[in-house]
Structure 1
Amino acid sequence: MFNHSFSISGARRAIREASGRILALTLVMGIAMLPLTGKTQSQDSLAKKVTEYAADKFAERRPFSIDYKQYGNYNASSTLRGQDLPDGEFTQWSQLSASANINLFQNRRWLVQANGFYRYVSAEYNFPKSSAAPSQTVSRDLHYHTEGLNLTYFSKLFGKTAIYSGSINMDWSERSLERVRGTFTGAIVLKANNRTKINIGILYSTDPSMFIRVLPTFLLEHKFNESLMADVFLPRYAYLRKKIFGKGRLSAGWELDPQTTFFLDDLDENGTTYQYRQVDVNPGLLYEHILPASIILSLRAGVRINPYARTFEKDRSFTDYTWEGRADAAPYVNIGFSFNPFAKPKK
């Protein structure tokens, strides 16, 4: 079973290792946003409303966000090419990530955005080579980043508002460009009034590392009163949200995190590039608070459930894997800051 210790030294190391890359992303995206911010906020269009709505739902869809997460210790088992490996323990797993979004162009029908995402993972794993051997410790520091463009088109379908979106992204390891992938989505707004919003849609990804490449999507937002609402977007999250303290919001529920991925090129003598992908389900509590200058503070805590962690050759699929790991549930804590120009405290 896992214990509940968190590594302060690990947090300091993660922040120190990733600070240069985070600073670079902040400066580049921040400078780029300056001539666009005024236009984005002043334009009253469907594109602006969708941008504002997405920024409320997802921190990574805001102009800028930074996030740090730390897990408690947890045990893990794994197999390599179908053979069981000795069980081990993760004594350190922390990750620091940053994202940025820029609205390049928007009008009544079109929205064009540039985006960037960076994640740094620091991991430490204890495992024995055999049942009779003492444990040894392996430490890894891993970097992954992706940049791309997203194009959204607004139309009508059967008299309802329809939203079509396509994106192209370049995924990078520490050494080079590893993959160019595309994602395409379509959604139709079935209902939208002051109390209830319902959307249905479909998502398709060209990325072979995705566990499921075609997914139906469903969005439901229902306000029970001015301060309490149900907010569901499947398969990404489901929350019950309550506005508190005028500038705060407390949410209880769960969120799916499929974005923990990176590339590995030192696992065999052939120089094969492998991809690691981990899919986490994070039930817990989330508190968000509006700070001055439209900065959102996010505090999150709960238990991480890790149903899938796999390593496979880069050009193969998630189901054609070489290594598979399964981990015990682990507690986590999370702190983040993001810039949301649409944030409005409750009066």
Structure 2
Amino acid sequence: MKAAILFEPKADLVIEDVRIDTPGPREVLIRTAACGVCRSDLHFVDGSFPHPMPTVPGHEAAGVVEAVGSDVTRLKPGDHVITFFTVFCGSCEMCVTGRPSLCVDPSTRRPKGAPPRLSRADGTPLAPFLNLSAFAEAMLVHENACVAISKDMPLTQAALLGCAVITGAGSIFNDSKLRAGESVAVIGCGGIGLAAINAAKIAGAGQIIAIDPVPEKRALAARLGATHGFAPDEPDLVKKLTALTLGGVDYAIEAVGRPETAELAWTLLKRGGTATILGMIAPGKAVSLPGPSFLTGKRLQGSLLGSTRFPIDMPRLVQLYLDGKLDLDTLVAEKIPLAGVNGALAALRQGDTVRSVIEFA
């Protein structure tokens, strides 16, 4: 099969024929239908976050089950599935307390000494990328790295649920638990931020404030439910938003991954408000907050994939799309073949695209 391989940071991905193993116990072979090109991929491709190489990036995908290994009970060939990179074991402390996105149990990975799931034609192992390696025509994953969904769901749109949408929507539904009439500011209007804005609209937020330097992204935010839009460098931004919201927002969602935007999220909160940091702040970077501000009862929290409970939340998001409430179509900037992956990554570096989605024949 064809896959896009990263051999070293800051280099173009190289498309090659690679080998994929047969499913082992609790493993599922998936024919990839679509995969979003996510800014999180770019962090690894550009070396901001370290990763073993060579590897096949990609982690926001959907496809069709082709084969299953022994002991697989929840999936069968022909099932349409969405994948997610935080594969869960189902029995550790994180899983049984309702936090499967935080599971790190090693039992979901192949044991030491087992053959690699992916390898080059010459037999060189390819390091698994975030448990998925989805820039490929097929994926071999643990059964708890995917969820079966309705076959009425278009797989191109379904792929976006695997990262951007569950992260953004989860920050509203799970992390914030936003109630009707409350206010939220979303900093960064890429795929994650736009999904948070759309979810805030579904939840009935009173004021939804989109903050992004790109006018076109603020326009998309308005289409998805934002009531106000601002550039982050607008003069007196904090004063304007404090006045607009009569003291600050109930919730702030940071979807950029920079210390200064995390600090802005904190500053925009009202007394007792909550800021959720979704962006990947690079190693070595730190967030600085004024000590006295903690006396206002504000809360700062991190989140991975919107604290999503995958088998429950993903089918619900699918149904919201099928019911016409969750807008995934607007998030797709372009549909490309696998050969266009380097161009999509370059567009992400420019910051002027929402989501490029690789469609596989």
TM over 0.5: no
More helix by share: 2
TM-score (normalised: structure 1): 0.25
Does 1 or 2 have the higher relative contact order (CA < 8 Å, sep 6+)?
A: 2
